[in-house]
Amino acid sequence: SAVISQKPSRDICQRGTSLTIQCQVDSQVTMMFWYRQQPGQSLTLIATANQGSEATYESGFVIDKFPISRPNLTFSTLTVSNMSPEDSSIYLCSVAGDETQYFGPGTRLLVL
Amino acid sequence: AQSVTQLDSQVPVFEEAPVELRCNYSSSVSVYLFWYVQYPNQGLQLLLKYLSGSTLVESINGFEAEFNKSQTSFHLRKPSVHISDTAEYFCAVSFTGGGNKLTFGTGTQLKVEL
């Protein structure tokens, strides 16, 4: 399975600001995903990021709030824009391989 | 549309006792099934998966799950738990040809006590 890293691992941010989360994979992958895990809850898919095309967002998530970049086959970023306390969550990236998804360690975000 | 149900939000169990974490799914097409584990303050780790073949799948740390198509279930079992198994366990499903998109259950908190 791929080795996935995320930066930052955690952050505390002020409302109204934006944070960009990086996801790096040690091998080339076609499909990458971004998830949100709100406190005490399960994972919700934000969007699918394929290299060379626009990200595909799930219902309830919009590009203006969660812009995503996918400049190459090993890297992606998710920006959480104009943050509010409701954005406090763990954000995880994952990659697909062998009909399976493998997850990064997550970014723990607290918005004050 | 797919859905995953984990009926038990919390399962307390004593060390060395057996445990079963329940997972049921709903789908009109063929599915792939997964169990992920999340240890405190960590990301998700793949525990085991069913893609095809034998309906009984095992993990390296003693967990097993059995795909039961007639009951649309994929329950996770371990005959003897250890304190280090304390974690959140998520069942997830994707459907064949669905672009690897996962639908997660709400999770089961397994708490192993001495």
Nearest to A42 among B90, B99, B101 (CB): B90
% residues pLDDT > 90 (chain B)? 78
Give the mean model confidence (pLDDT) for residues A43-59: 91
- Hey, is A86 helix, strand or coil? helix
Contact between chains at A42 and B105 (C-beta distance less than 8 A): yes
B contacts of A10 (beta carbons < 8 Å): none
Buried b (16+ CB within 10 A) or exposed e, B14-33: eeeeebebbbbbebeeebbb
Identity of the highest mean pLDDT range in A3-7, B1-5, B95-99: A3-7
Per-residue pLDDT tens digits for A10-40: 999 999 999 999 999 999 998 899 999 998 8
